[in-house]
Chain A
Amino acid sequence: MNRKTLSFGVLLTALSTYLWAQEPVLNAPGTVSAGQSVKLAAQGHGSATFYLVGPNRVVKRKISLGEEIEIAAEDLKIAGKYQAIACNGGNCGNTQFNVVASQPAQLIFFLHPSRVPVSSGNAVNATALVLDREKNMVLSPAKVNFKIDLPDGSSSTRTVPATRGIASFAMDSRSRQGKVQVTASIDDVSEPRVIQQVAAEACGLRMTASPAGRFVTFQTDPIRDCGGNPLPDGTIVSFTKTDSTGRSTVDSPIKKDRAVARFEVSGSAKVSVACGVVVGNELSLGGAQ
């Protein structure tokens, strides 16, 4: 072996060692849409081990440096910060990129409560969360439309800008009982919810007495709240009679807007009526009324 050949061999070995010892360089776009594949540029020579560390998964595979690395859409479903690492022997190069939510494709919609008394201020809360098709919250500015359909057939629309993916507003319950449908929508996505506006506390609770022999039947007038909404059937109305035999009570459910109780009355008696914490009129029988 002559001297020239030896020098060339040493130079080649040094160059190979230099190239082998150089850490791989990865280049990635700053942001990537969730659920879309992406290609990273990988500079260097030879083969390397590639790692992708994301919020919910880690990928490891062999790559050839100097070629583009394709990351499948499947591996980029979740929005967040991703780190790509390529290791060639003991030398590693890495880069970071963000995966952000793509276009709004889903709404999670809460309409609360499912039953609300009529005429209650700020009692209904509507909250919509804007998500892309991979269920990532869409943090970019978006406007959510809320369409409110009332029991009387009228409807109104309210547009609420989403802040960090959440659009929310509160509204008063209306004065008429019945179903209220609120539909949240963005682009071509919509999500309807229905709540029930129900009668509030009884108002002007009043009963009358109809004697029949030794029994007296007590019947309330139609029981309504202060807005004129009838209290639902099954609501409990308490009748209390006090006479010489003692006290008698009966919890009677409303049937067809009225509650009825029948007592045997001996001598003078007082009868009162109540619905929950609302007290109605008192009747005196067998004496001054």
Chain B
Amino acid sequence: MKWVLALVIAAVTALLLAGGWIQSGGMKLHAERAAGTPEEAVRALMADIQAHDWAHGYARLERSNHLQEADFVREVGGSDGSLRTYSALQSFDIWPVHADSEHATLRVRMNWSSAIGSLDEVRDLQVAREGNTWKVVWPKPNFPDVPLQVLPVNYLRWDVIGRRSDDWGSASVDTPRVRIISMNAVERPDSVVIVGEVENEDTVPAYVNISAALLKPDGSPLSQQDSFDAIAHRLLPKQVSPYRIDFPGARLNQVKSVRIDAHPLLIPASADPVISVESQNVAKDPLGRTTLKGALVNQSGQTVNIAQVLAVFYDSAGKPIWVSDGYVEDALLPQAPVPFAVDIPGDVAGRMHDYHVVVNHYIAPTT
């Protein structure tokens, strides 16, 4: 009787494990890992990336280009505290671009969930036949190779010192003087968007946020929002940042006026790092979207973990008509260019006459 009970428990456990495996997509994963077609090869690789199974993913690659596993992991999994290190592949779509009996090209749209939200990446992957299986030809990444050197960094830093007194009328320091130098309300298909620029007119650094309220004809607020992350919050003296405030679901014909406020705070800051934005060009991406592309170069000696690009686009009268922003997934290593691209809506691209790009950055505290 004892043996029967033990057998029943073991059988039930095995059944439950099998059910769990099927439920968690094990069958699908197994099917994806069998690369009988180019699409299956790419799908299997994406499944490995999703599962952070780097070794298995690397084993699926065609390695005639001498790609090292460490380089593959560094590119896909991120390094140096970059945004990619805080990301996971959420989903992907694959569609063929070209195929013959030995080679194929597939386009993959990868959707990454990251610390700052959802990020899309589109890549064309080459797939080659090896016997009965297909293998992805992962291009060998070109990581920057900056020669060993000493880079003196002696930029200014502002500290805020002293006790903050609560006594009324005691000596105090004013908040930085900032000015909204332009503002434009734009109607989009699903929202109203306020775009413009703000300047720190002061001689001290400022942390700036912009809030806006759409007002109805009777003066009551229709909606209130702030610039959230579509602004370079930290503004050094005389620095100008674009800002964008989205009002989802609002229509311009509901709005009589807009009330907009800048909220500056005095903060300690450093003028380092200086990040240049090079080779800026407006071009079409593989999906036919208009994008502003370029490269960021960290001119400092310190690694910038996460960089965000903000671009303001002007019409022929110099009025801001749109602000795009995009995060760069790779860390900015000193002196090494890192490409970036931000989308430009089709209607904006047609009316755009000029643009200006600024870079926002985040450096993880050293422990």
Contacts and interface: CB of A to CB of B under 8 A. Distances in A.
Interface of A: 108-110, 112-115, 129, 193-194, 196, 198-199, 202, 231-238, 245-253, 255, 261, 263-264, 275-277
Contact of B356 (A109, A194, A232, A249): A249
Contacts of B359: 251
Contact of A233 (B156, B201, B240, B358): B156
Contact of A108 (B168, B181, B239): B168
B154 interface: yes
B199 A276 contact: yes
20 contacts: A109-B169, A114-B173, A114-B174, A115-B173, A115-B174, A115-B177, A115-B203, A115-B204, A233-B156, A234-B156, A236-B236, A236-B237, A236-B239, A245-B281, A249-B276, A249-B280, A250-B299, A253-B155, A275-B238, A276-B199
B134 to A, nearest CB: 38
Contacts of B177: 113, 115
A196 B156 CA distance: 18
A113 B168 CA distance: 16
A264 B279 CA distance: 10
Contact of B203 (A109, A193, A235, A245): A235
Given A232-B237, A234-B236, A250 B277 contact: yes
A233 B239 CA distance: 13
B280 A248 contact: yes
Given A108-B168, A233-B156, A248 B203 contact: no
Interface in B97-155: 154-155
Interface in B201-241: 201-205, 236-240
Indicate the member of B158, B172, B173, B237 with the most A CB atoms within 10 Å: B237
B169 A252 contact: no
A272 to B, nearest CB: 12
A234 B268 CA distance: 13
A194 B171 contact: yes
B78 interface: no
Contacts of B275: 250-251
A129 B237 contact: no
Interface string B262-303: 000000000100111111110000000000001000010000
B199 A234 contact: no
A110 B274 contact: no
A261 B203 contact: no
A108 B202 CA distance: 27
Given A232-B203, A276-B199, A248 B237 contact: no
B174 A248 contact: no
Given A198-B203, A234-B158, A252-B274, A246 B294 contact: yes
Contact of B155 (A113, A114, A255): A255
Nearest to B181: A277
Nearest to B272: A253
A235 B171 contact: no
What bracket does the count of chain B residues touching chain A fall in?
35 or more
Given A115-B203, A253-B236, A276-B240, A234 B280 contact: no
A129 B167 CA distance: 14
A250 B156 contact: no
Contacts of B280: 246-249
A237 B202 CA distance: 14
| Pairs of residues from A and B, 10 with the lowest C-beta to C-beta distance, nearest first | A108-B169, A250-B276, A276-B238, A234-B156, A253-B271, A246-B281, A248-B278, A247-B280, A236-B239, A235-B237
Nearest to A237: B238
B237 A193 contact: no
B61 interface: no
Contact of B277 (A108, A194, A236, A248): A248
B357 A249 contact: yes
A166 to B, nearest CB: 12
Given A251-B274, A276-B199, A276-B201, 4 more contacts: A115-B173, A234-B156, A234-B237, A261-B276
A114 B271 contact: no
B171 A193 contact: yes
Contacts of A193: 171
Contacts of B239: 236, 251, 276
A237 B238 CA distance: 8
A286 B26 CA distance: 63
A114 B356 CA distance: 32
Contacts of B238: 202, 231, 235-237, 275-276
A220 B239 CA distance: 17
A253 B171 contact: no
Contacts of A198: 202-203
Interface string B347-367: 000000000111100000000
A150 B201 CA distance: 24
Contacts of B201: 276
B279 A253 contact: no
A122 B61 CA distance: 72
A229 to B, nearest CB: 11
A17 to B, nearest CB: 56
Contacts of A250: 274-277, 299
A104 to B, nearest CB: 15
